[in-house]
Structure 1
Amino acid sequence: MSMLRYLYLSDNSIALRFTENWVPPFQLHDIGMGSCKLGLTFPKWILTQKYLHYLDISNAGISDNVPEWFWAKLSSPECSNMNILNNNLKGLIPNLQAKSQCSFLSLSSNEFEGSTPPFLLGSGLIDLSKNKFSDSLPFLCESDCWSNFKALAYLDLSHNNFSGKIPTSMGSLVELRALILRNNSLTGEIPSSLMNCTKLVMLDLRENRLEGLIPYWIGSELKDLQILSLQRINSDLFDLSLNNLSGHIPKCIQNLTSMTQKASSQGLSTHLYLINSDLFEYDLDAFLTWKGVEHVFNNNGLVLLKVVDLSSNHFSEEIPPEIADLIQLVSLNLSRNNFAGKIPSNIGNLTSLDSLDLSRNKLLGSIPPSLSQIDRLSVLDLSHNQLSGKIPTSTQLQSFNPSSYEDNLDLCGPPFVKFCVKGKPPHEPKVEVQDDEDLLLNRGFYISLTFGFIIGFWGVFGSILIKRSWRHAYFRFMNNLVDNIYVKYRWGRND
């Protein structure tokens, strides 16, 4: 046993129990105990392993604070791979001086909180997702500190409580393949410095509070991007939903070339990265609202998806007809925005669509007849707009529930019971769009009325309350007035 160097027990349900002060007779290089049951306390015997290269105690049922000596091991030159994900590990991580030497570090799906110490960023692949980290400005470290971590290739900070702006110095991470910041509270615009991260394969900014326009450079500069892209590059997923982005969809969206081509059997299936002579494989996954339900798609599932999701933002103006050039698009979700104008007449070119959601916008006019050419649709939602006229006739469009068309201006024809007269509703719809100027006048009128009432009320009664002589004079006046009314009333009755 003293010669034992490699111990691999992962992917079993073996229950292992160690005494608190046990000192093993061996010095291990690799420890693989993922999914083994190690008990609630953090295994102290790991401290005795001086040449630890690889450690996997993920999903081991540990519920404890991580001792400081463990973090110190990350700075060891022997450290290569540390995986403690999916336990109930908690507490604050100390800020050590020496950088982490581990090429791969996963702390995901635990209960770590507080600030994230910069020494962790010395690793090449870092997964801190699904914790309770809560750094604010400056984001994680000083604004220019990211230039010190140029070897970083994979950074997942999703599902935490990070806030503030994405720092411009992140643009110095020239080796970065994946930047995953979804489901935090990040604000501001997407920094233009990220165009320098030309090796990015995935950029996930979903579910934040980002503002501003879609950056023009995402497509033109990030040539390797496969998840989130705009122009002239291989992009299968374009998901910026649940932010505060505004403006219009750029016409260059037609340059999403992979959305005009059939899915490859290779695609995103494997991602390998060489760090310090060690080859690491990492997975990519994306949260997507698919047919009204949020799903997680991993490498293989993403290969088959070609999706544009800009839902729940503040995009306005018309939907550009160029979007219909993405003929291999499987899902288009533009719901919960402020899109106006008509649905593009060439929308029927998207013959591969399985799901189309344009609900809760301000779309006008009739439903384009070309929509009936899409025979693969299983989900359609055009509700809560200002559409009118006849619903185009096709086996597909008439098969949807009327709720797919509800709360529009004046639609007729099946699946509604309301029939059309010569292709139109029985009466012409009246579009009641309130002018912005009238809205401002009405709002100003009520604001002025409120302020006038407050000033008038307190101008009279405030003076009476403050000045005693005025208060006495006011009550004498009211008494005399009541007496006069009473006397006149009595005389009138006597007459």
Structure 2
Amino acid sequence: MGSLHQLRYLDLSYSQFIGRIPPQMGNLSNLGYLNLATENDESYDYSFHHGTYSTDITWLSRLTSLEHLDMAEVNLSTIVHWLPVVNMLPTLKVLDLSSCQLRSSPDSLQLSNLTSLEALHLPYNEFHKPSTPNWFWDLTSLKHLDISLNGFYGSFPNEMVNMTSMVELSLLYNNLVGMIPAGMKNLCNLEALSLSGNNINGNIQEFFNQLPSCSQNKLQSLSASNCNLTRSLPTTPVESLSNISQLFLDKNKLTGHLPAVWLGELTNLAMLDLGSNNLDGVIHEGHLSRLEMLYLLDLSDNSIAITVSATWVPPFSLGEIYLRSCQLGPKFPVWLQWQTQVRSLDISNTSINDIVPDWFWITVSTAMVINIRNNEIKGVLPSTMEFMIALEMDFSSNQLGGSISKFPISLTDLDLSRNNIVGPLPSDFGAPGLRTLLLYDNMISGAIPSSLCKLRSLQLLDLSRNNLNGSITDCIVNVSSTYMTGLSIINLSFRNNNLSGEFPSLLQKCPQLIFLDLGHNQFSGTLPAWIGEKLLSLSFLRLRSNMFYGHIPVELTKLVHLQYLDLANNNISGSIPRSIIHWTAMQQARGTFVYLQHAISYGGARFGDNNPVDYTENLTVLTKGQERLYTGELIYMVNLDLSCNSLTGEIPEEINTLMELKNLNLSWNNFNGKIPENVGALMKVESLDLSHNDLSGEIRSSLSALTSLSHLNLSYNNLRGKIPTGNQLQTLEDPAYIYIGNPGLCGPPLSINCSTQPGPIPGEHHGDATGDLVSFFLAMSSGYVTGLWVVFCTFLFKRRWRVSWYSLCDSLYDRAYVQVAVTWASLRGKING
């Protein structure tokens, strides 16, 4: 390529080249246009092994005819003195070094050759220095300057006021503080100003007054989102905004009503974003009747009520409507039916309590994003839903009924949770690209169809709290099928249904599974060993309240990412494998929390703040003696619950290596032996329950060192000796209940004094007092029954013995009767005399 000496135009952008940019490019001395921009792929770490990079750009200095240079996202992180090289390009008009990992921005250029430079793009670098002095403020010929997201700090530079040629200026998301300079009024050519993400921290009206209003009010786009702007909007027209078409003032601290006069004068407005402020009051037809150009309207998360006549026909045709948490109800807003080109709609949490009208489904048939969640919308899903073009739909937390038909073929995310959906799941979902399917808290019945296997892109599936039944069949192997290479599921929840059968073999095809909840069903059988071999990504496993039996497979301890295991309320037997030392996620806090967060939190990434599918896993965890609801904080819960099973043997000492545990529940089993000696190593445990077992010996004094412990239950064991005191043990609630059912314990908080506790008899075994008592009564009972059967059997087979026995009884009876009668007669005679 370096031999193409006459080449004038070279565009290699987004060509997926990797590796070092060859310095032979410097031979193309006639180049006027060079574009080497690479594509940003977040999966790359952008070391020198991925993407394109250069460690020496001196070859650029030979391209003396260059007017346009674009090296966006080329890794230049090792180059310190990049500016002197660029300064040797006297004809350069456009320079784009976005996302190049540059770390140096000189204060000035002693002799600048960049007098022709009109456009400079330097966003997404790592300068981290004061906003002034900087070399680019001397380039007064600049028309387009973008220095966003560079870590510049300090006040807004006064040098900006000298940039009178400026057309577009972007300072987005730096750390600039204070009001913009008054001299900004001099930038009469300014058409676009982007200041979002800085801390202006001032009155909105003062901010408007600093904007340029000269030269026929050229300002068309103003972005000041998340700038800490305060006070109320102006009640009269602002001259500098008279030509504005894009106005973004969301995520500020604006208060008061939305002035009709001010808004009504912005007749060129195409995009208005006032979301996430503290605005209130009522919007009526007068606010909107002159905004014929309006395409985007965002008033989300304010206390605004939109009250317009049912017969009002809007003058605009909106493409994006975001009215989340505004007051639209209780009736369905009729004016929406005139919006026939909607691409994105969010009317969630708007107090609508009405039957969804038929026209609504026609209105949103062209929408790619639909969010009506958290209302009281009634009715049924449209039978024509499969013909919609939606990508994402959130209809959750309403009162929609009916059954589910085919989904739109383009659908990727659907949330129908917390409704009244009935009937079975569709035999054909109709959306092969579906990634999220949330149907929990409905009344869906029937079996889970095998067509689930066709959803190869599905990552999140929550069917919990329905009436599903039957067993989960494995994917049908079909030679002609292309979907058997594996599923992409990361989060799978079937809890609180009536599902039965063995542990689903379907899950063998889910190697990326991180979160699995099959709790509160009727699954049975043994836990297969392949869980620990095929589901190596598993971090959360909840199987409580089923009918599983058999041992805990030792292969389960291969799950090094496992931080939450709940097998409670089953019939698991055997002992705890000593190989639990391989559960490293329960031993050391590393990146495991982030690992689980990827599975339980979903949404907000692809479509910004208005992404309708916003999901966070929530479930109750039995800890500290009660059920507690966990949502996003579930990622920090490190839990091991094996309670209410038939586990036996000693509690292995290896359990003390699980130092990240916050909840450990081994209650209601048949564990024997002593409490593990180093139980004090579980420094982060907050709830420890070893009750209702056959544990013996003394309570370990190291329990008092558990500074995080807030709940302890050792009741109904065979523990003995003095109860340890001090530190955390003195702060626990209901201390007497902790030790109840252990007759061998003494000392506070029990009333039994250790000095009066009877000591052991020399030479006598004193292992289990309760066990000895039980043995005594068993022996006595068996002896009684044995003796009784000996007498009974003798009388049954020896007739002569029976006759002799009953004769003896008769004679004894006669003697006793005569004796009593004579004595009674004698006594009566004495009384009468």
TM-score, length-scaled by structure 1 = 0.75
Question: What is residue 538 of structure 2 aligned with on the other side?
Answer: 200
| 1:418 matches 2:755 | no
Quote the Cα distance in structure 1 between the aligned partners of 2:360 and 2:617. 39
- Quote how far apart the aligned CAs of 1:84 are: 1.1
- Quote how far apart the aligned CAs of 1:191 are: 1.8
Match 1:346 to one of 670, 678, 690: 678
| Matched residue type, 1:252 | S
**Contact 2:374/2:398 (8 A) holds in 1:** yes
| Matched residue type, 1:254 | I
- Quote how far apart the aligned CAs of 1:92 are: 3.0
Question: What is residue 462 of structure 2 aligned with on the other side?
Answer: 127
TM-score, length-scaled by structure 2 = 0.46
List gaps (5 residues or longer) in structure 1: 223-232, 458-484
**Contact 1:270/1:283 (8 A) holds in 2:** no
Question: What is residue 622 of structure 2 aligned with on the other side?
Answer: 289
| Matched residue type, 1:214 | I
| Matched residue type, 1:108 | Y
Aligned pair in 2 of structure 1 residues 255, 151: CA closer, same or farther (>3 Å)?
closer
Aligned pair in 2 of structure 1 residues 441, 332: CA closer, same or farther (>3 Å)?
same
Question: What is residue 210 of structure 1 aligned with on the other side?
Answer: 548
Q: Deviations over 1:430-460 (max 9, x none)?
A: 6242699x9799799989x99xx9xx99xxx
Partner secondary structure for residue 654 of structure 2 = helix
Match 2:696 to one of 347, 351, 364: 364
**Contact 2:542/2:564 (8 A) holds in 1:** no
| 1:183 matches 2:515 | no
Partner secondary structure for residue 162 of structure 1 = strand
Question: What is residue 501 of structure 2 aligned with on the other side?
Answer: 164
- Quote how far apart the aligned CAs of 1:114 are: 1.9
Summarize the alignment of residues 13-412 of structure 1 with structure 2, pairs less than 5 Å apart.
Answer: 13-15=351-353, 17-20=355-358, 24=362, 27-39=366-378, 41-44=379-382, 47=385, 49-62=387-400, 64-66=401-403, 70-72=404-406, 74=407, 76-96=408-428, 101-123=433-455, 124=458, 125-135=460-470, 139-141=471-473, 148=484, 150-153=486-489, 154-194=491-531, 195-220=533-558, 222=559, 233-262=560-589, 266=594, 268-271=596-599, 283-303=616-636, 305-397=637-729, 400=732, 401-412=735-746
Quote the Cα distance in structure 2 between the aligned partners of 1:426 and 1:293. 37
**Contact 1:262/1:328 (8 A) holds in 2:** yes
Quote the Cα distance in structure 2 between the aligned partners of 1:170 and 1:119. 14
**% same residue:** 30
Quote the Cα distance in structure 2 between the aligned partners of 1:49 and 1:97. 13
**Contact 1:170/1:193 (8 A) holds in 2:** no
Q: CA RMSD in A?
A: 4.1
Partner secondary structure for residue 669 of structure 2 = coil
- Quote how far apart the aligned CAs of 1:171 are: 1.1
Aligned pair in 2 of structure 1 residues 260, 290: CA closer, same or farther (>3 Å)?
same
| Matched residue type, 1:205 | L
Quote the Cα distance in structure 2 between the aligned partners of 1:37 and 1:142. 38
Q: Deviations over 1:214-258 (max 9, x none)?
A: 2222232x4xxxxxxxxxx23332322122111111222233323
| Matched residue type, 1:420 | C
- With 141-150 and 178-187 compared, the bigger mean Cα shift is at 141-150
**Contact 1:100/1:121 (8 A) holds in 2:** no
**Contact 1:315/1:339 (8 A) holds in 2:** yes
Quote the Cα distance in structure 2 between the aligned partners of 1:443 and 1:119. 62
**Contact 2:557/2:580 (8 A) holds in 1:** no
- Quote how far apart the aligned CAs of 1:396 are: 4.0
Aligned pair in 2 of structure 1 residues 100, 118: CA closer, same or farther (>3 Å)?
farther
- Quote how far apart the aligned CAs of 1:362 are: 0.4
- Quote how far apart the aligned CAs of 1:78 are: 1.6
**Contact 1:122/1:152 (8 A) holds in 2:** no
List gaps (5 residues or longer) in structure 2: 1-338, 761-765, 797-810, 819-833
| Matched residue type, 2:529 | S
**Contact 1:21/1:44 (8 A) holds in 2:** no
Quote the Cα distance in structure 2 between the aligned partners of 1:116 and 1:382. 42
Aligned pair in 2 of structure 1 residues 284, 94: CA closer, same or farther (>3 Å)?
closer
- Quote how far apart the aligned CAs of 1:121 are: 4.2
Question: What is residue 479 of structure 1 aligned with on the other side?
Answer: none
- Quote how far apart the aligned CAs of 1:205 are: 1.6
Q: Which has the larger radius of gyration?
A: 2
Quote the Cα distance in structure 2 between the aligned partners of 1:167 and 1:45. 32
- Number of residues of Structure 1 aligned to a counterpart in Structure 2: 435
- Quote how far apart the aligned CAs of 1:77 are: 3.1
Quote the Cα distance in structure 2 between the aligned partners of 1:43 and 1:98. 15
Quote the Cα distance in structure 1 between the aligned partners of 2:785 and 2:382. 69
Aligned pair in 2 of structure 1 residues 37, 261: CA closer, same or farther (>3 Å)?
same
- Quote how far apart the aligned CAs of 1:399 are: 5.5
**Contact 1:243/1:312 (8 A) holds in 2:** yes
**Contact 2:602/2:616 (8 A) holds in 1:** no
Quote the Cα distance in structure 2 between the aligned partners of 1:381 and 1:209. 26
Q: Deviations over 1:288-311 (max 9, x none)?
A: 2111011232333432x3332211
Aligned pair in 2 of structure 1 residues 7, 149: CA closer, same or farther (>3 Å)?
farther
Q: Deviations over 1:319-355 (max 9, x none)?
A: 1112222333333211111000111222222233322
- Quote how far apart the aligned CAs of 1:178 are: 2.9
Quote the Cα distance in structure 2 between the aligned partners of 1:77 and 1:94. 14
Quote the Cα distance in structure 1 between the aligned partners of 2:588 and 2:620. 23
Quote the Cα distance in structure 1 between the aligned partners of 2:595 and 2:359. 50
Match 1:427 to one of 754, 759, 776: 759
Partner secondary structure for residue 437 of structure 2 = strand
Partner secondary structure for residue 753 of structure 2 = coil
Q: Deviations over 1:46-83 (max 9, x none)?
A: 54853233222111222x222xxx522x2x53222222
| Matched residue type, 1:151 | L
Quote the Cα distance in structure 2 between the aligned partners of 1:132 and 1:57. 20
Q: Deviations over 1:345-369 (max 9, x none)?
A: 2222223332221110001122123
Partner secondary structure for residue 44 of structure 1 = coil
Q: Which has the higher contact order (CA 8 A, sep 6+)?
A: 1
| Matched residue type, 1:413 | G
- Quote how far apart the aligned CAs of 1:407 are: 1.1
**Contact 1:10/1:35 (8 A) holds in 2:** yes
